[in-house]
Amino acid sequence: MSGINMTRRGLIGAGGGAVAATLAAGMVPAAARIQAGTGARVAGQPMPDGVKLPATPPRPKRQDSVGFAIVGLGGYALNQMMPRFVDAERAHVAAIVSGNPDKLAKVGDAYGVPGDARYSYDRFDEIASDDRIDAIYIVLPTGLHADWAVRAFGAGKHVLCEKPMALSSADCERMIAAGRRANRKLMIAYRSHFEPFNVEAMKLMSQKAVGDIRLLRTEQSYRMGPTTPRENWRVSRALAGGGPLEDYGIYGLQSALYLTGEMPESISATTFRPTGDPRFAEIFAHVGSQWRFPSGAVAHLATSYDSAGTNFAHVRGTRGALIMDPATSYSGQKMRLEGREPRELNPGDPGVQFARQLDHFADAVRDNKPIRTPGEMGLRDTRLIEAIYAAAERGQTVRLAPDGRMRG
Ligand code: NAD
């Protein structure tokens, strides 16, 4: 596993065992819950860098368009998702929720959100009586997803939740149960399921375009700049869990599942945390895992916050290979089939993934259509993340049931 220090010494010396033990036990750090309840650290968060607000407020295209309240006006909401609502047929921004009054004013004006549909976190529960809002889109730090999803269901709304679903399988189960009690939809925003390259790759693999899959390799990494857990939630254990695996490596984990079409039967893993680096005071720098599938296929997954950027998925079968690099970006995907008839594939514009995801959710809300990426999928993936940390912590291969639960 290139770039990954496989020794246990660094991890134990840095106290990483405690991190892994907490994560493996499925415990949600208390700090995440406290912040979720109060939104205390949120009030002063300024507008993230590079935000371009629309020059004219977009309007819903259809009468039955689903109205979303966006919770958390950070980088992904403002730079990626909110600008894509204009491409969706059946989804519009009906309300915004933020702890920063200045941001509420600027973003609200740009998106044409009425003054009384701009909510602070403290006023969130009033959303229950706001009929303009059908669904809540949770774009908050991961450690806050579960509590806000439960609050959203409590307000009688449907929930689209950013990936990863939550930091423990117990929290995922809590979210699913709250959605069932409220009789509302829950979807995890796994955008690759709506992105043409990945959709085509799923189809090709199910048609055995590379023969029987034998080996799969995924890597997602980038080098995080200097920061600390106080400054950046992505390096805070309470809000980000173990770090790169939940945030970025989840794309490789997902690819391994949807490209093979199988669940692993066993996992072994390694984590590494250097000492004395404030970026990794609470989270891991790298996580590597090896999976074995019932078919005999073997997958190697690596993810890192401390190595030069990459994002690829390689599948090697008995008759050829599928190379996706970059595999799951916002744009610029590349994909080629190797084998008897090698060819570059270009199945469509990756930029459509955002609007397609929104419309898919809107169709589920309006027409009761099944959700391609439901809460159960997020739960399954969170169980696998827990298994990876447990395997690394125990220094042993972990065996899994078909639903991703650890056997013993
Ligand atoms: P960000 O830091 O840019 O924004 C987070 C937002 O949450 C900010 O507006 C912040 O004010 C708010 N917030 C509320 N409570 C907070 C607290 N206690 N601490 C810190 N911030 C708090 O993060 P982001 O990149 O927008 O990520 C948000 C979510 O979106 C995460 O779940 C992340 O995994 C997900 N995401 C998904 C993709 C994707 O491609 N699907 C890409 C990036 C992020």
At 135-151, the pLDDT tens digits run 999 999 999 999 999 99
Q: Which positions are annotated as active-site residues?
A: 163, 251
First to last CA, the chain: 27
Q: Which residues pair with 211 in a beta bridge?
A: 209
Pocket test for ligand 1, best of 38, 139, 171 (most atoms within 8 A of CB): 139
Q: Ligand 1: distance of its center to the CA of 322 in Å?
A: 32
Residues of the chain with CATH 3.40.50.720: 3-191+370-374
Q: Is 54 left (phi over 0), alpha (psi -120 to 50) or beta?
A: beta
User: What is the reported pLDDT for 360?
Assistant: 99
The closest-lying atom of ligand 1 relative to the alpha carbon of residue 99 is 11
- Options 3.30.360.10, 3.40.190.10, 3.90.1150.10, 3.10.180.10; CATH for 193-349+378-399 is 3.30.360.10
| CA-closest residue to ligand 1 atom 2 | 74
Instruction: Pick the closest to residue 90 from 70, 133, 61, 59 (CA basis).
Output: 61
Residue 384 tokens read as 């696998």
For ligand 1, is residue 76 a contact (CB within 6 Å)?
yes
| Nearest atom in ligand 1 to 164's CA | 34
Q: Ligand 1: which of 96, 122, 140 to mutate, judged by most atoms within 8 Å of the beta carbon?
A: 140
168 pLDDT more than 60:
yes
Model pLDDT for residues 50-99, shown as the tens digit of each residue: 999 999 999 999 999 999 999 999 999 999 999 999 999 999 999 999 99
Chain region(s) in the chain for CATH 3.30.360.10: 193-349+378-399
Atom of ligand 1 nearest to the CA of 234: 2
Q: 35 CB under 6 A from ligand 1?
A: yes
Q: Judge whether residue 221 has pLDDT over 60.
A: yes
Q: Is the predicted pLDDT of residue 111 greater than 60, yes or no?
A: yes
Q: Is-cis flag, bond preceding 326, omega within 30?
A: yes
Q: Mind listing the pLDDT tens digit for each residue in 289-305?
A: 999 999 999 999 999 99
**What kind of fold does domain 3-191+370-374 have according to CATH?**
Rossmann fold (3.40.50)
Confidence of residue 26 (pLDDT cuts 50, 70, 90): very low
341 C-alpha to center of ligand 1: Å?
Answer: 43
* Helix spans in 131-278 (H): 145-154, 169-182, 196-206, 237-240, 244, 250-260
